[in-house]
Chains A and B, each alone.
Chain A
Amino acid sequence: MPNLAEQIREALTMFALAETKPALIGGLAVVAHQVVRATQDVDFLLEAEAADKVHEALLKLGYQCLYRSEDAANYVRSTEGLDLLYAHRPLARLLLSQAVERDTPMGCLRVVSVEGLIAFKLQGYVNDAARMRDFDDMKALVQIHRASLDMVQLREYFALFNQQELLNELFT
């Protein structure tokens, strides 16, 4: 199994050299929001303008690019994976700008808000209903943060994907 902590530290150094400040999304962001589960997913939300610079840097670190579009990119290096979502629409840019810095054993990490994280999980789940992990993560996040969630914001995200019923389901 790869050393995930080392992989994240290396990625943070690379981002700093590329002069960009991405934010954690995906499984590790779920952990950051108090739902501790095993995950080897390293996912970051990155400003779209830094995509080329970070792409080159990742290739230099030995990653292979499996997929890249204007919205996302997936990289692998042996058994390690690293996924990027590019923030180029207003909502993602806002969520990136509002990400909160956290001191962690891997270094200083920015983490998207719990509402934003649920929105990204929703986007993944809506696009691929087989991604039950995304559903489970949304459910767990709602359960633990139920009292403090910004419901106006959440309703906006679920309406964007026409999934208002799913939001109700998550709260039952």
Chain B
Amino acid sequence: MNSSLNTSLNASFNTLPDLVTKSPSGLSAPVSATGSGVVLVREAGVSFRPPLGKVDPFVEWLSLMEVVQILCPVWPARSRSLPSKEWKWKL
């Protein structure tokens, strides 16, 4: 697994932006909300918010989607809620 993928996995499971620490290499490394360094299942699925301006969120997203594709090769059917006539468009 490449480092980008690893970063994405960590990012996906460790989510609190305020809990970002500097690794010896100087790169930001997210840590568990508990500070234990252990990935907690209960933290999974929450949006990762990278430090502003420090990483390209699209690169992080592509890495995340790579992981999603590995874990879930067939995405569940899209639930499409099409706009109804009652929709109020104001923008």
Contacts and interface: CB of A to CB of B under 8 A. Distances in A.
Given A81-B80, A105-B59, A38 B90 contact: no
A66 interface: yes
B83 A72 contact: yes
User: How many residues of B sit at the interface, in one of the four size bands?
Assistant: 20 to 34
Interface stretch (B19-27, B32-40, B46-54): B46-54
B42 interface: no
Contact of B78 (A81, A140, A144): A81
Contacts of A128: 81, 87
Contact of A1 (B49, B73, B82, B88): B73
Interface string B51-79: 01000111111101100110011110010
B64 A66 contact: no
Contact of B47 (A1, A35, A95): A35
Contact of B50 (A2, A36, A85, A102): A36
Interface of B is mostly: loop
A20 interface: no
A79 interface: yes
B68 A1 contact: yes
B89 A31 contact: no
Which of A28, A36, A140, A160: most chain B CB closer than 10 A?
A36
Contacts of A104: 56, 58
Contacts of B89: 71-72, 89, 123
Nearest to A67: B82
B75 A32 contact: no
Contacts of A81: 78, 80
A34 B49 contact: yes
Contact of B48 (A4, A37, A79): A37
Interface of B: 11, 17, 47-50, 52, 56-62, 64-65, 68-69, 72-75, 78, 80-83, 86-91
13 contacts: A35-B57, A66-B82, A71-B87, A74-B80, A74-B82, A85-B91, A89-B89, A104-B58, A105-B62, A106-B58, A123-B90, A126-B88, A127-B88
